[in-house]
Amino acid sequence: MKVTLLNCTPDPEKTVSLAAKLCYSDSAIGELEDRVKGISYENFLGKIIKMGHLSVLEHASFTFGIEGISRTTSHQLVRHRLASYSQQSQRYVDLGRANEYVLPPSIESDAGAAKRFNDLIARIHELYKEMVSSGIPREDARYILPNAACTKIIVTMNARELLHFFTLRCCERAQWEIRKMSTEMLRLVKRKAPTIFRDAGPSCVAGPCSEGEMTCGRPKEIRDKFKRL
Ligand SMILES: Cc1cc2nc3c(=O)[nH]c(=O)nc-3n(C[C@H](O)[C@H](O)[C@H](O)COP(=O)(O)OP(=O)(O)OC[C@H]3O[C@@H](n4cnc5c(N)ncnc54)[C@H](O)[C@@H]3O)c2cc1C
């Protein structure tokens, strides 16, 4: 899996601060630059976020390139509706050339299961290639491809949606692959906007665990992990 931050709003914390200052100031928009010059984002944005004025975070967007994830994970990812996606097409791209699949660690650690998994994947791949070379359109041959098939996707989310996404998908309740992916996304955006994402991650990072009976029971360990990220 490879996660890259391709682009983001230039100076995201300044942009968000301009939007927040506008709401509480009688300044003309042209004067707002001066109003945010030299302010502590930690104090100002920290306060804005704490009071739940989260719409200002929508002015900062982040675009990620993600490759080497399974279709299982991309399907979970695209359930998040407040985002934009461009995904490599299985209709148009010949997947006979790339034989890339995600092998879950639980299967990898069981030699017998891993062998059967890999054998089956190889047979699926062979059949796919045979069908495409016999003239069956790729868009139909792809019906035999498994959830394990790798995909590439470009995703854009604003900071408010990212905070929500991290709460759900960095949590131990989320599946390991999307958790790994979202944790890497969080690591990357923290470097660009440390105040906005200071308390980002599963609910236990900023407050009590929200998972009730489904809690992993390790809030301190998880909190420390995300604080250090
Ligand atoms: C641990 C876990 C297990 C899951 N298991 C399943 C499962 O078994 N089956 C399944 O189908 N899904 C499952 N999901 C997916 C889940 O139901 C959501 O579809 C997914 O997490 C997207 O979250 P969302 O809807 O909050 O957010 P987004 O689509 O990211 O939207 C963000 C927020 O915007 C608001 N919003 C967006 N669209 C609307 C709308 N149309 N109307 C009103 N408000 C809206 C909501 O407040 C929403 O929380 C699971 C998710 C997790 C994290």
User: Could you list the residue range(s) of the whole structural domain that residue 34 is in?
Assistant: 2-85+151-228
In 3-state terms, the chain is what percent helix, strand and coil (to 5)? 55, 15, 30
**What pLDDT digit, counting tens, does each position of 135-181 carry?**
999 999 999 999 999 999 999 999 999 999 999 999 999 999 999 99
Residues 156, 201 share a domain: yes
pLDDT of residue 219: 93
Residues 132, 210 share a domain: no
Q: Residue 195's domain is classified under what CATH number?
A: 3.30.1360.170
Q: Is 214 in the pocket of ligand 1 (CB under 6 A)?
A: no
pLDDT of residue 94: 85
pLDDT of residue 223: 95
Taking the chain (229 residues) in runs of 10, the rounded mean pLDDT of each run is 98 96 90 91 92 96 98 98 97 83 98 97 95 96 96 98 98 98 98 96 95 94 94
Which protein residue has the closest C-alpha to ligand 1 atom 9? 76
Residues 156, 79 share a domain: yes
pLDDT of residue 73: 98
Query: How many structural domains comprise the chain?
Result: 2
Residues 160, 81 share a domain: yes
**What type of residue is 174?**
A
CA distances from 209 to 109, 173, 204, 214, 218 (A): 31, 11, 4, 10, 9
Residues 155, 50 share a domain: yes
Judge if pTM exceeds 0.85. Answer: yes
Residue 138: active-site member: no
Q: Is 164 in the pocket of ligand 1 (CB under 6 A)?
A: yes
pLDDT of residue 95: 84
Centre of ligand 1 from the C-alpha of residue 35, in Å:
38
**What type of residue is 193?**
A
SS3 label, residue 157: strand
Residues 57, 42 share a domain: yes
Residues 199, 179 share a domain: yes
Residues 159, 115 share a domain: no
